[in-house]
């Protein structure tokens, strides 16, 4: 029987998902570090005399992986050489700028997968959405806040319409969504 300290199903699900996410990130960092180290020339040179001095090989592996992750952090999150706060967080804001459309496309694919459909047309939907958003952004003259909202909505509508073509064809003709989305990506 459940007690006051027993977590309910939603808590178990959330905690399990969070733990899985953390473990997946740690595993990715470790495996990525190993791949980086195994492809580094200094590690290969030090591995030639591994049994004589294993510390050299392990040190070279650590140096290669940590240098790569440090460069990735400085390039994507923080610029320690920036003079102002804005310059220091510029890599992070650029990361968000580049990642936002990809995250939204991934969410669109996830919604389709949850509905039992295989939407592999995110690239085409993203491009059509971006095209419609750019058209609205450059041709409509609106106040700044309304303009931004109109551009975002235009992008969403463009992607939804492009995906809607697939839904319409599947509903009317029974065509397979994988083939349709691949073909619409090409268009």
Q: Are residues 123 and 72 in the same domain?
A: no
**In the chain, % of residues over pLDDT 70:** 92
User: Exposed (0-12), middle (13-18) or buried (19+): which is 22, by Cβ within 10 Å?
Assistant: exposed
Indicate the pLDDT class of residue 104, thresholds 50, 70 and 90.
Answer: confident
pLDDT digits (tens, 9 = 90+) for 22-69: 999 999 999 999 999 999 999 999 999 999 999 999 999 999 999 999
Domain range holding 179?
92-186
Q: Cα separations (Å) of 156 from 30, 108, 122? A: 37, 10, 12
Residue 96 CA to residue 88 CA, distance in Å, equals 14
Q: Are residues 98 and 182 in the same domain?
A: yes
Q: Is residue 4 part of a domain?
A: no
Q: Are residues 119 and 180 in the same domain?
A: yes
pLDDT digits (tens, 9 = 90+) for 76-87: 999 999 999 999
Q: Cα separations (Å) of 148 from 97, 126, 131, 136, 138? A: 15, 18, 15, 10, 11
Domain boundary residue among 76, 100, 127? 76
Domain boundary residue among 21, 43, 76? 76
Q: Are residues 110 and 180 in the same domain?
A: yes
Q: Count how many domains the chain has.
A: 2
Q: Are residues 182 and 97 in the same domain?
A: yes
pLDDT of 150 over the 60 cut:
yes
Q: Is residue 85 part of a domain?
A: no
Q: Is residue 99 part of a domain?
A: yes
pTM greater than the 0.75 cutoff: no
Q: Is residue 81 part of a domain?
A: no
Q: Are residues 67 and 97 in the same domain?
A: no
């Amino acid at each position: 029987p459940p007690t006051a300290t027993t977590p309910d199903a939603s808590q178990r699900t959330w905690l399990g998902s969070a733990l899985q996410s953390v473990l997946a990130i740690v595993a990715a960092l470790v495996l990525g570090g190993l791949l980086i180290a195994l492809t580094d020339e200094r590690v290969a040179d030090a591995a030639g005399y591994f049994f004589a001095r294993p510390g050299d090989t392990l040190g070279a592996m650590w140096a290669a992986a940590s240098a790569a992750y440090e460069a990735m952090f400085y390039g994507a999150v923080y610029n320690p050489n920036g003079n102002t706060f804005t310059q220091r967080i510029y890599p992070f804001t650029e990361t968000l700028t580049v990642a936002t459309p990809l995250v939204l496309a991934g969410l669109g694919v996830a919604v389709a997968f949850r509905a039992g459909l295989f939407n592999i047309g995110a690239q085409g939907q993203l491009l059509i959405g971006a095209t419609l958003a750019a058209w609205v952004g450059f041709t409509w003259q609106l106040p700044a806040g309304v303009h931004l909202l109109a551009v975002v909505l235009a992008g969403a509508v463009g992607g939804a319409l492009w995906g809607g073509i697939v839904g319409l064809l599947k509903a009317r003709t029974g065509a397979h969504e994988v083939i349709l989305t691949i073909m619409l990506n090409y268009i």
